[in-house]
Structure 1
Amino acid sequence: MSTEGKIATFLGLVMLVSGMWLLWFLNDRHMKLHSENVELRHHLAQLCQYIDTLPKKHRVVYDKCLEIQGGDRNGSASN
């Protein structure tokens, strides 16, 4: 194998390993964000269940705060 062939093979391997590492890194980051999102949604659901157990006068305050912030009980914004 010529010198150019060895260099091309080496560079190909470097690119392959770099691509695999980048793919692993991005997948790891995605999985962490996904698990945080699931956890936050769970806590939001628990909070909403708790608020639903409160007397009406206390729930009105919470609903008004959400209205001012432009959100709803599902956490989405209406902007």
Structure 2
Amino acid sequence: MTTATRDADAYPVSDKVTAEWTSASARPARTELLPLSAVRFTPDLALDSTAPAGEPMALPFTVQGAAAGGGLRRSPYR
């Protein structure tokens, strides 16, 4: 498990993220780094991190890490 925190005064909407990965595979003979990726969403929000209700909006994103440049042409989400 890993946790990242940042200054709550500067980031009042979200100042802590915790992530944990599990696997059903056998323990490797030696420690190995996993090729993890991150998806960063960058919607156009107001300063209080809100968007107008009832309106469709674009949700731009970028992929970083192992999956970056992997040929994803568009998000499967609408």
The TM-score range, normalised by the shorter chain, is under 0.3
The structure in which a higher percent of residues are strand is 2
Provide TM-score, normalisation by structure 1.
Answer: 0.20
- Larger RCO, structures 1/2 (Cα 8 Å, 6+ apart): 2
Return the index of the structure with the highest Cα Rg: 1
